Amino acid sequence: MKIFIDTANLDEVAEIASWGILDGVTTNPSLVAKEGKDFKETVTKMCEYVPEVSAQVTATDHEGMIKQAEEYSGWHKHIVVKVPMVKDGLKTIAYCKSKGIKTNCTLVFSANQAILAAKAGATMLSPFIGRLDDAGQDGMELIAEIVSIWKNYDFDTEVLVASTRHPRHIIEAAEIGADICTIPFKILEKMPVHPLTTSGLKRFMDDWEKVKS
Ligand code: G3P
């Protein structure tokens, strides 16, 4: 399973990339607005750390989306153009596929939407599991449903689990066999930590001090 970080913060990307475990970055307009930095400069710098950086179009019509997709993909070869799951978005994904531009279909909340994104030629698609959980549904069930459908066909669209909210989400996504998980920095920081590792290391170091003295 590929691990992406869900952020528009360059320091967070640099830190997680330094662990040697990072495969990509996803950004979105809300994350970019939170950081308040230049969008083009931020995503282009991120491309120096990882081979896939999602940059979302903000146009809502097909023509505008295509214009932004062509612009963003020209910034760096690692850019993946993020396109919302709407009808004009599907047209844009199909256009990008014909031009060799990678896409990430975002705001996916149903298996029907996932099938359409794959048919249009999305490189990856992003079901938002945390937001489904918030709405009283089981977001991970959607991932299981999509992965199960994918076993019947030869769709090469990668299933990217987005809107992850806690470390269990990452384990469950891996058990199901999702291709990618995008994870906020705060959750990534929790993943290497276990109290028995902390106490075990302390005991080793305390014993080692006794040998030395
Ligand atoms: O990648 C999508 C993600 O940023 C959405 O997360 O927590 O806003 O639902 P959240």
As given in the structure block, the two tokens for residue 13 are 């990307």
Residue ranges lining ligand 1, Cβ < 6 Å: 6, 26, 28, 126, 128, 130-131, 162-163, 182
Question: Out of 82, 97, 119, 212, which one is annotated catalytic?
Answer: 82
- What pLDDT was estimated at residue 144? 98
Q: Which atom of ligand 1 is nearest to the CA of 131?
A: 9
- What pLDDT was estimated at residue 212? 77
102 labelled catalytic: no
As given in the structure block, the two tokens for residue 72 are 């963003």
Task: Give me the count of residues in the chain.
Answer: 213
Residues (pLDDT < 70) of the chain are 213
- What pLDDT was estimated at residue 81? 98
- What is the reported pTM? 0.95
Taking only the tens place, the pLDDT of each residue in 80-116 is: 999 999 999 999 999 999 999 999 999 999 999 999 9
Q: Domain-by-domain residue ranges, the chain?
A: 2-212
* Residue 69 CA to ligand 1 centre (angstroms): 21
- What pLDDT was estimated at residue 119? 98
Taking only the tens place, the pLDDT of each residue in 161-176 is: 999 999 999 999 999 9
- With the most atoms of ligand 1 within 8 angstroms of its CB, the residue from 163, 182, 187 to mutate is 163
Q: Does domain 2-212 have CATH number 3.30.2270.10?
A: no
Torsion, CA 191, CA 197, CA 201, CA 202, rounded to 10: 100
